[in-house]
Amino acid sequence: MPFLVSFALTALLTPIVIALARRVGWIDKPRADRWHRKPTALMGGIAIFLGALAGWMAFVDRTALDSFLVPAVAIFLLGVLDDRIGLKPHLKLIGQVAAAVWVAQAVRFEGLPPLLSLPIVMLWMVGITNAINLLDNMDGLAAGVSAISGLAMAVLCALDGDQGLAAALLALVGACAGFLIYNFNPAKVFMGDCGSMFLGFSLASLALYGSRTGASSLAISLLVPVAILAIPIFDTTLVSIVRTLHGRSISQGGRDHSSHRLVALGLSERGTVLVLYGLTGLFGGVALLSKTLAPLAVCLIATVLFVVLLLLGIFLGFLKVYPEEAQVPPRIKAIGGTLLYKRQLLQVLLDMVLIPVAFIGAHLLRYEGAPPMATAEVLPEVLPMVLVAKLLSMALCRGYGGVWRHAGMDDALRAGTGSTVGSLLSAALLMLTGVLPPVSRAALVIDWLLFSVLAAGVRLGYAALVALFARVSPQNSPRVVILGAGPQGLSLVQELRHPLALQRAEVVGILDDDRSKHGRLANGVPILGPLSMLPELIDAQGVNRCVLGVAADTEAGRSILALCREKGIALGNGHHRDRPEALSPSAARQRHS
């Protein structure tokens, strides 16, 4: 019922807000640093606020909201001021901190002293408030992610028997859903800061109340809200790090969020939003596992997913979204090169996370989640020994010698070798120290398999993302046909479809005179037929670029040159990832002259 009331009221109020915004001039006009392309009504957050407030007043006990409702209203009013007069970042931050203090006084985590709990709560409140605010950068994104996150929290609260908190969350979800009718792509209205800050503050507050009352351990009480709101946290972290490395202010606007980068890689706006919805649901599902699995198992699963998210962030961070004149300053470039390109340090740090995950996870699998007391007591003692042995083995087997941007099977094999040597060394050390009997031999075998897969997966993660995003092409990419399925032609397929290429192309297909190759796939691209099909392909498929994968001084090469001149089709020859001009019509004319 709270969901339906808030949904219906927000859906009814939003058109009224749109009409009012157009009448009084609350319009967000397109700007260079903003994503939207047409003037759009602002202040949709008013409808979200009123819809959620009505649900709270009707179905939630006022005593359950006393420590939250007043600062939530204050945050909404702060957002209204920012939308109307444009508050400076430090003034907004002061207002957010003041509201966070109000909530922090009412929230305490068992197991944490108040002096430690207070700053954690305040950092969480301010961080999530701004994370949702920053996430409001594409039609339907902030409202949808907030709705999915709120729904996951509501289910958790209902399972814990906290019906009042579940009702409060369902009212918030209903308000988001009602607003999405008008905010999903193409949006008729934006929520503005009054909506995004209110949603962020409300989710942050209610997540703390829910995790505090229903968690089975301190680790889970901290992990659950982080998992549920992982995507806003991920986006804010990515933007903050990349802007800092490029010498840009974190508070400035820009088209450099995770959503913008996914669109630049070739996803549609709707597709990008749906992908981020799916990731939000995935992490919400991990949070729900806290009700069925042991806390340690949930932590291990969440850790692996956060590592995957880290790899995605590194991949997206390499995408060039800033103009050439705003490239990295030399001092920052040196830091970025060390951390983002060479990555040996990051590889070691990731293995320091994955080794305990594999070792502990192996024992949980071996004993179906409940290791014997003797084994459980000895694991913390032997884990440091296993950690050092495996890190040393990985280093000796050159498991940290590769560059992830160019990782391949050699890197995976080195990781597997290092894992094998590390497992053998660990087993030998456990035998010499006399602690092998409490540690299961079967668990050591499972540990070897788990860490081998995780270590190889991390090193091949970048290549996997490249292969995944090579399947989609950005809008308005040149449609290219590659002439020749030899080694050079196959290499060109990878170069032209690479997600980080300076000028990507949509490779329609490959033409080759070798009949045995016809109808097959080469690097995911079909070999359509002989070179003589080129005129037909140009007319039927709208091809506007050709790339020569055969020698130009052959009879086939000369006939292709003549045909491209006749059709006015640009012709490239060789590797073009670092030379986008090779695909331009002017470059083609110069070669033909």
pLDDT at 550: 62
Q: Taking a C-beta distance cutoff of 8 angstroms, is the pair 465, 311 a contact?
A: yes
At how many degrees (to 10) do helices 141-159 and 114-135 cross? 140
Q: Are residues 213 and 130 in the same domain?
A: yes
Task: Give the burial class of 303: count Cβ atoms within 10 A of its Cβ; 0-12 exposed, 13-18 middle, 19 or more buried.
Answer: middle
User: Which residue, 157, 155, 194, is CA-closest to 175?
Assistant: 194
Q: For residue 570, what are the β-bridge partners?
A: 545
Task: Give the burial class of 553: count Cβ atoms within 10 A of its Cβ; 0-12 exposed, 13-18 middle, 19 or more buried.
Answer: exposed
pLDDT at 329: 53
Q: Are residues 9 and 81 in the same domain?
A: yes
Q: Are residues 493 and 439 in the same domain?
A: no
Q: Are residues 75 and 195 in the same domain?
A: yes
Chain Cα centroid distance, residue 211: 24
Q: Are residues 461 and 532 in the same domain?
A: no
Q: Are residues 493 and 442 in the same domain?
A: no
DSSP secondary structure letter of residue 172? H
Domain assignment present for residue 348? The answer is: yes
Of the three residues 469, 489, 518, the one that is the final residue of a domain is: 469
Q: Are residues 583 and 535 in the same domain?
A: yes
Of the three residues 469, 503, 529, the one that is the final residue of a domain is: 469
Q: Taking a C-beta distance cutoff of 8 angstroms, is the pair 534, 562 a contact?
A: no
Domain assignment present for residue 370? The answer is: yes
Q: Taking a C-beta distance cutoff of 8 angstroms, is the pair 196, 136 a contact?
A: yes
Q: What CATH number is given to the structural domain containing 580? A: 3.40.50.720
Q: Are residues 451 and 401 in the same domain?
A: yes
Of the three residues 451, 469, 487, the one that is the final residue of a domain is: 469
Give pLDDT tens digits along the chain (593 positions): 899 999 999 999 999 999 999 999 888 877 766 666 788 899 999 999 999 999 999 888 776 677 788 899 999 999 999 999 988 889 999 999 999 998 888 777 666 777 787 888 889 999 999 999 999 989 999 999 999 999 999 999 898 888 888 999 999 999 999 999 999 989 899 999 999 999 999 999 998 886 655 444 556 677 888 899 999 999 999 999 888 887 777 777 778 899 999 998 888 899 999 999 999 999 999 989 888 888 888 888 989 999 999 999 988 988 887 765 445 555 445 554 555 445 678 889 899 999 999 999 999 999 888 888 888 888 888 999 999 999 999 999 988 877 777 778 888 899 999 999 999 999 999 888 877 777 888 999 999 999 999 999 988 888 888 888 888 877 778 888 888 888 888 888 888 888 877 678 888 888 888 888 898 988 888 998 888 788 888 778 878 788 877 666 666 667 777 777 776 777 776 544 333 333 343 333 333 33
pLDDT at 5: 95
Look up the pTM and report it.
0.84
pLDDT at 578: 35
Domain assignment present for residue 383? The answer is: yes
d(CA 593, CA 581): 16
DSSP secondary structure letter of residue 245? H
pLDDT at 37: 73
Q: Are residues 158 and 111 in the same domain?
A: yes
Q: Provide the token pair at 71.
A: 């600062």
Q: Are residues 486 and 379 in the same domain?
A: no
Residue in this structure with the two tokens 């706006």, named with its chain if needed: 269
Chain Cα centroid distance, residue 90: 28
Q: Provide the token pair at 289.
A: 């596992």
pLDDT at 421: 96
Domain assignment present for residue 298? The answer is: no
User: Which residue, 285, 297, 10, is CA-closest to 175?
Assistant: 10
Q: Are residues 460 and 499 in the same domain?
A: no
Q: Taking a C-beta distance cutoff of 8 angstroms, is the pair 446, 365 a contact?
A: yes
Domain assignment present for residue 309? The answer is: no
pLDDT at 591: 35
Residue in this structure with the two tokens 């640009």, named with its chain if needed: 570
Domain assignment present for residue 143? The answer is: yes
- In terms of residue numbers, what domain contains 378? 343-469
Count of CB atoms within 10 A of residue 114's CB?
A: 10
* Tally of domains within the chain: 3
Domain assignment present for residue 305? The answer is: no
Domain assignment present for residue 535? The answer is: yes
Q: Are residues 485 and 465 in the same domain?
A: no
State the Rg of the chain over Cα: 28
